Amino acid sequence: MNDMSEEDAFEAYEQRPLSQQAMGVSPYLSDLNPPQREAVETLDGPVLLLAGAGTGKTKALTTRLAHLIHTRRAWPSQILAVTFTNKAAREMKNRVGGLIGGAVEGMPWLGTFHSVCVKILRRHAELVELKSSFTILDTDDQIRLIKQIIDVEGIDPKRWPPRMFASMLDRWKNRAVSPGKVPPDECGFANGRGGELYRIYHERLRTLNAVDFGDLLLHVVTILQTHPDVLADYQQRFKYVLVDEYQDTNVAQYLLLRLLAAEHRNICCVGDDDQSIYGWRGAEVENILRFEKDFPDATVIRLERNYRSTPAILAAASGLIAENKSRLGKTLWTEEPDGDPVQIRGVWDADEEARQIGDDIEAAQAKGVKLSDMAVLVRASFQMRAFEERFIHLGLPYRVIGGPRFFEREEIRDAHAYLRLVKSQDDDLSFERICNKPRRGLGDKALQTLHLTARGQSISLMRAARLMLETDELRPQARKSLRGFVEAVDRWTLAAADIPHTELAEMILDESGYTEMWKNDKSPQAGSKLDNLKELVQAMGEFENLAGYLDHVSLVMELDQDSSGDRVSLMTLHAAKGLEFPLVFLPGWEEGIFPSQRSVDEKGQEGLEEERRLAYVGLTRAMESARIFFAANRQVYGRWQNAIPSRFIDELPKQHIDIVSEPGLYGAPASNMPGLSRFDATRVEEDTYYDNPGWRRARAAKARKSAPPPLLEGKAELMTTSAPDASAYAVGERIFHQKFGYGRISAIEGNKLAVDFEKAGAKRVLESFVEKT
Ligand code: ATP
Ligand code: MG
């Protein structure tokens, strides 16, 4: 049968009676290469498919699912298939339908870990003393509950912020640590009361008939571990277990998989250690090694042929990831036709970056490329703002994937509510949104009273608040808080007349305690929220006044609500996992942004390697063209800062990259361009390369070692002569930096110094910004 041509096979498949389907030819198999086929057809026993990006892991997994159903090895309801997002689950279902012809009836266990666990938990809630109608708390509810507990227990919430405890809970739950099992050295919260608080919290949730996100997994694992009959039932049911993006599972998820697959042992996991990017959320890439240990008889399959990207993109990505020390290592090859090298483009600042990317997108569109074939992948959500504004300005339809649009983010909406209230004190929606955010003791009861008064007298909440301050209707504590709030809004309203609107925003965010609230928040998202707030202040600077800015926001929010049709995709690198696009833009490759300073500060080498994996994920999303951008200047809180190109740019193999100045000028020496202004490409080039010694030195070294790329021909010599060879500094030397103060040099790399600052910690800085002491 295998000798049949593909066409014949299809025809035979189409025409045969339903009853024979299970024995017939499977045309979908002919689309696969031999190791992929092995992954699909090795149906008995554990299978680990470990392979690099774009090698067809997801395709193999989807085909395996189709094959199981098609060959009647299992009914759809007997297969547990875990994907990383609900969207991926939907896609997988559609593709399975496509592969075996016709819609698949019911795939109840195809989804994310969370969606699968909700289903199991609803069935057996009573086993963990819950009712099946339990509610799932969102983060806000969870924080409120922790706050109550902390209050009742007489713990100082300033010293021990509820959000800090929430992230500890999260970490325990990711590792399937149940209450009562917290290791003593992790109980430090509130002077050693961490474990006890976990127990109290857990009890409270039970009384409320509620769970948090982490509980969904933890409860299910507990049920399976403590109720052999239930476990046996699921083990029987799930004849096959399939897992995509396996490298990003956490311990609790791994335990769940191991428990469920223990009976049939038909578990197939696919993943890539080089794409493990959720360590900060508890994912453990070691699960790959655990798998091989727990299932020593596993068939381990490797795929090496990449079907997605051009050789240049693949080589650039492989060269980059080779810098990571902790990896299993693998080779990748492709038969795709030669493509353009990866473009690296230096620009003046973030606006210029957005402008050039917008222009590139329009140019590609004019050549017939679909918008949905293009994506902009950013490291941090604050970077999205400039692109969204640019796309709106150009009228380019776009879609933000995996999260809200910039102006729809929680922290941005909160900040806007403060600003709107200052602009118009009768804005009830804004009042309601932030009068108790951060918490200032204005609970639901106080708000209810305010509402009653406001409604009774047909006045706004703010006016009602002023009336309430003169009466005894509110409890003294609530009245005091309300007075503080009303006075603050009045103060800001007065200030608004005197100070620039950006300063006003900083003042409000600061005095209201809003920024402080996120600073105290130890959850992984807090840092990016703070960055977004900074970006917001920055964005306001582009408008003449507050009213102008708020009008702009309303317009932006109004536009483009409909997300159908052909659109450019904008998303974070994290959200891009598993996806692919012909043309990919990778902006903001600068030290501090990418690699993220926060990751490196918090997790050192490990953090840096995770950042590098993220860069690898980014590059490998591109099928035909990848364009990396870095800006020479970034504005943070209104102050310009020199930016250093990301070390990841230096690490890309030079034969696969090309430095480009501007579209259309590919390869032309920038110095040939006549009379351009400060913001134009030539100047950008000069500013970028000449004002930035780190980059200049790196390029100079490259120019010496190898033939320079065409663009640099005119410059190579200049750079060689202008860049001094030896650093004026020595490792161990004490220096002074204007921003970070005193510190000692721990390493020297070209003109970049790694310095352990006495106050600011470890940072990489430019030599030209430090002084000898
Ligand atoms: P990632 O690591 O990014 O998740 P992956 O290994 O899951 O990637 P897929 O998304 O399954 O890779 O496949 C990448 C691309 O290669 C897809 O466009 C897919 O259709 C194509 N592809 C995979 N296998 C083959 C094959 N055997 N023949 C032709 N194209 C293939
Ligand atoms: Mg995949």
Query: How do residues 371-430 score in pLDDT, each as one tens digit?
Result: 999 999 999 999 999 999 999 889 899 998 887 888 888 999 999 999 999 988 988 888
pLDDT number for residue 771: 81
CB of 327 sitting under 6 A from ligand 1: no
d(CA 320, CA 306): 16
Q: How confident is the model at residue 691 (pLDDT cuts 50, 70, 90)?
A: very low
Give the distance (Å) from ligand 1 centre to CA of residue 337: 16
What's the average model confidence in pLDDT over 522-529?
A: 84
What integer pLDDT is reported at residue 20 of this predicted model? 39
Q: What pLDDT digit, counting tens, does each position of 638-669 carry?
A: 667 788 899 999 999 999 999 875 433 223 33
Average pLDDT value for residue range 89-103: 84
| Catalytic choice (36, 37, 55, 58) | 58
Residue 10 pLDDT class (50, 70, 90 cuts):
very low
Q: In the predicted model, what is the mean pLDDT of residues 682-692?
A: 31
What confidence tier does 726 reach under pLDDT thresholds 50, 70, 90? low
Per the CB < 8 A criterion, the answer to whether 389 and 584 are in contact is: no
Residue 637 pLDDT: 59
Per-residue pLDDT band at 768 (split at 50, 70, 90) = low
**Catalytic residue list contains 245:** yes
Among 391-405, 628-642, 707-721, name the most confident range: 391-405
Please give the residue that has the higher pLDDT: either 490 or 667.
Answer: 490
Give the relative orientation of helices 194-208 and 162-174 as an angle to the nearest 10 degrees. Answer: 90
Q: Which residue bears the tokens 């609500």?
A: 561
The whole-number average pLDDT for the span 37-47 is 95
pLDDT, tens only, 501-525: 999 999 999 999 999 999 988 777 8
pLDDT-derived band of residue 327, with 50, 70 and 90 as boundaries?
confident
Q: Give the mean model confidence (pLDDT) for residues 323-344.
A: 84
Evaluate: CB of 83 within 6 angstroms of ligand 1. Answer: no
Q: Residue 558's pLDDT is what?
A: 65
Top-confidence residue, 728 or 306: 306
Mean pLDDT, the chain, as a whole number? 83
Amino acid making up residue 377: L
Tokens standing for residue 767? 């030599």
Which pLDDT score, from 0 to 100, does residue 563 have?
A: 64
pLDDT for position 656: 92
What confidence category does residue 770 fall into, taking pLDDT thresholds of 50, 70 and 90?
A: confident
Q: In this predicted model, which residue has the larger pLDDT, 767 or 495?
A: 495
Which residues fall within 8 angstroms of residue 303, CB to CB, at 6 or more apart?
Answer: 33, 35, 36, 49, 51, 52, 55, 56, 57, 60
Ligand nearest to the CA of 54: 1
- 610-624 tens-digit pLDDT: 999 999 999 999 999
Q: Is 31 near ligand 1, meaning CB less than 6 Å away?
A: yes
Does the CB atom of residue 35 touch ligand 1 within 6 A?
no
Q: Which residues, at least 6 apart from 110, have a Cβ–Cβ distance to it below 8 Å?
A: 65, 79, 81, 83, 89, 92, 93
Distance CA(160)–CA(508), nearest Å, equals 24
The share of the chain scoring above pLDDT 70, in percent, equals: 86
Q: What is the mean pLDDT of residues 554-581?
A: 83
Query: What secondary structure letter does DSSP report for 34?
Result: H
Residues 6+ apart with CB under 8 A from 293: none
Q: Rounded mean pLDDT of 710-729?
A: 39
The pLDDT of residue 22 is 45
Whether 44 sits among the annotated catalytic residues: the reply is no
Tell how far the Cα of 55 is from the centroid of ligand 2, in angstroms.
8
Tell me the Cα Rg of the chain.
29
Span of 25-29, 222-226, 501-505 with lowest mean pLDDT = 25-29
Token digits of residue 179? 């209450």
Write out the two tokens for 530: 């703070």
Q: Look at residue 766 and give its three-state secondary structure.
A: strand
Consecutive H or E run containing 311: helix 311-321
- Alpha carbon 624 to its chain centroid, in Å, reads 23
Q: Whose CA is nearest to atom 15 of ligand 1?
A: 308
pLDDT over 80 (residue 711): no
- Check pocket membership of 272 for ligand 1, CB cut-off 6 A: yes
Q: What is the pLDDT of residue 564?
A: 72
Task: Please tell me if the CB atom of residue 309 comes closer than 6 angstroms to any atom of ligand 1.
Answer: no
Question: Is residue 738 scored above 70 in pLDDT?
Answer: no
Protein residue with least CA distance to atom 23, ligand 1: 56
Q: Which ligand is nearest to the CA of 52?
A: 1
> Would you say residue 717 has pLDDT above 80?
no
- pLDDT tens for each residue of 574-604: 999 999 999 999 999 999 999 999 889 988 9
Mean local confidence (pLDDT), 43-63: 95
- Which residue intervals of 585-736 are DSSP H helices? 597-619, 647-651, 681-690, 693-705, 713-722
Mean pLDDT of 181-209: 91
Q: What is the mean pLDDT of residues 54-59?
A: 96
Residue with CA at minimum distance from ligand 1 atom 14: 54
Site to probe by mutation for ligand 1, drawn from 278, 302, 307, 620 as the one with most ligand atoms within 8 Å of Cβ, is 307
Q: 3-class DSSP state for residue 736?
A: strand
- Cα(176)–Cα(273) distance, rounded to whole angstroms? 22
Predicted model pTM: 0.75
pLDDT tens for each residue of 350-363:
889 999 999 999 99
Give the closest residue to 743 by CA, choosing from 766, 762, 769, 768. 762
Nearest-angstrom CA–CA distance, 322 and 343: 20
Binding site membership of 307 for ligand 1 (Cβ less than 6 Å): yes
The dihedral through the CA atoms of 357, 362, 363, 367 has a sign that is positive
First to last CA, the chain: 80
Q: Please report the sign of the dihedral spanned by the C-alpha atoms of residue 471, residue 475, residue 478, residue 480.
A: positive
* Residue 684 and residue 347 in contact, taking contact as beta carbons nearer than 8 Å: yes
Query: CA-CA distance, 761 to 42, in Å (whole number)?
Result: 52
Please tell me the distance from the alpha carbon of residue 631 to that of residue 353, in angstroms, as a whole number. 7
